[in-house]
Amino acid sequence: MPPLPVITGLGFITSIGNDRAAVGRSLRELHHGFEPCTFLDNPALPVKVAGTIKGFAFPSPNWRDWQWPATHAIDRETLRGLAPHGVYAVCALQQALAEAGLGPDDLTDGTTGLFCASAGSPYLLGQFLSQMYASRGERGNPMGIVSSIAGTLNFTLATLYHIRGAVCGFVSACSSSSHALGYAMDEIRLGRQQRMLVVGAEDMNAESILPFHCVRALSLNPDPDTASRPFDRRRDGFVGTGGAVALVVEDAALARRRGVPVQAELLGWGQAGDGYSVAISHPEGAGLREAMRRALADARVAAPDIDYVNAHATSTPAGDRSEAIALKAIFDGGARPRVSSTKALTGHGLSLAGAMEAGFCALAIAEGFIPGAAHLEEPDPECADLNLPRTSLDEAPRLVLNNSSGFGGSNVCHVLRRPA
């Protein structure tokens, strides 16, 4: 039997919950994670809502001031090298490893790798560079670079867990952690690694989210209950969020030998570029359509067999429409899988999004439900043909498609399956 990557551990630090049980409840009951937010102490900013991470506080760049839930222990030695999203990531990974029944000694023999995705910490990088400018290069926090640049997650987590397998970070904006998961699947399928830890994370602060206001991508709707409404006619942009999600992916044979439950199988994945615009998705969703086609082909699954699609749809006017067109092109033979974008509840987690939503898909498979299309009141006519359930359904999906798209038209899709 060729290796089959399966998910055996899930960890969540998200706007809709800081553990698996809370996240599952929010997805079933469609509880969003949004709160009113004043960015940069500036009430004049029209961006008023964010998907906040509860139970954490990062009031200064100094780690000595940081707070996180007492349920998670983090040594100062580790903390010194972390960005805020690294703190989320350590907590999420602790949860995922516990669920997979893995201790620190199980990860160090070279058969376990680690793929991560984040944009780095613009917050800490800004602080670090300000210190350098002020001292004209004579002074800088020695931990400034490892804690702030893209790659900080893999540097710090690989060190913390003494990972001696493949260690890498992925940078493709909002498809970054989808790439990390896809290539992690390949590491296992190619027999290079028996187990991969996949972690996506982002800071939840002005420095990570407000730059998207500069490209007019953020919702200006001040109402947390309606600001994020993918596929709705009145959607006006995305709501930003941060957090971390960790997935333990291992070969099915190893999971069987260890006697741990499989949450979901990872059957295949695909990617394709739009080759169109640096920031805006192709108007017909050409790259996403091709990425879905390739993922289905890799998984040897026919489109009509897909039960649920976790859409990328971020609640921007252009992006949701192009994804709807791509979905209709793939599912054109009368098959209409359930479709929802859980960003209606979480907000858009940027580099975190793909892994977060793969985690949600695994939860839906493991716990037998389909997340509803929250906050949808009046579908955009272009999206109206999609099968968008207004509430979560007690239907156990067997085959699930997870979509992600990033800047430059970088599209990635995964196919997940319920274990037999």
Q: How far is the CB of 116 from other proteins (least distance, A)?
A: 20
Contacts of 6 (CB under 8 A, 6+ apart): 249, 250, 251, 252, 255, 262, 263, 264, 265, 266, 419
- Catalytic, 213? Answer no
Kindly list the residues in this chain that would bind other proteins in the complex (CB under 8 A). Answer: 62, 64, 75-77, 80, 138-139, 141-143
Q: Which is nearer to other proteins, 74 or 254 (CB)?
A: 74
Q: How far is the CB of 82 from other proteins (least distance, A)?
A: 13
Residue type, 117: A
Q: Which is nearer to other proteins, 58 or 269 (CB)?
A: 58
Q: How far is the CB of 142 from other proteins (least distance, A)?
A: 4
Q: What is the 8-class DSSP label of residue 262?
A: P
Q: Give, rounded to a whole angstrom, the gap between the first and last alpha carbons of the chain.
A: 15
Q: Which is nearer to other proteins, 64 or 300 (CB)?
A: 64
Q: Which two tokens stand for residue 68?
A: 């996180």
Q: Which is nearer to other proteins, 148 or 315 (CB)?
A: 148
Q: Give the containing element (helix H, strand E) for 286.
A: helix 286-299
Q: Which is nearer to other proteins, 32 or 72 (CB)?
A: 72
Q: How far is the CB of 154 from other proteins (least distance, A)?
A: 17
Q: Which two tokens stand for residue 371?
A: 């997340």
- Catalytic, 383? Answer no
Q: How far is the CB of 80 from other proteins (least distance, A)?
A: 7
What is the sign, positive or negative, of the torsion defined by CA atoms of 103, 117, 163, 87? negative
Q: Which is nearer to other proteins, 63 or 115 (CB)?
A: 63
Q: Which of 32, 85, 213, 348 is catalytic?
A: 348
Q: How far is the CB of 64 from other proteins (least distance, A)?
A: 5
- Assess contact for 397 and 371: CB atoms under 8 A: no
Contacts of 256 (CB under 8 A, 6+ apart): none
What is the sign, positive or negative, of the torsion defined by CA atoms of 296, 199, 217, 35? positive
- Catalytic, 162? Answer no
Distances from the Cα of 42 to the Cαs of 47, 48, 207, in angstroms? 10, 10, 13
| Residue 364 burial class via C-beta count within 10 angstroms: exposed 0-12, middle 13-18, buried 19 and up | buried
Q: What pairs with residue 264 in β-bridges?
A: 7
Contacts of 376 (CB under 8 A, 6+ apart): 229, 230, 231, 232, 344, 388, 390
Q: Which is nearer to other proteins, 127 or 208 (CB)?
A: 127
Q: Which of 312, 383, 413, 414 is catalytic?
A: 312
Phi then psi for residue 293, to 5 deg, are: -60, -45
Q: Which of 37, 116, 174, 361 is catalytic?
A: 174
Q: How far is the CB of 134 from other proteins (least distance, A)?
A: 10
Cα angle 191, 197, 202 (rounded to 5 degrees) comes to: 140
Which residues carry out catalysis? 174, 312, 348
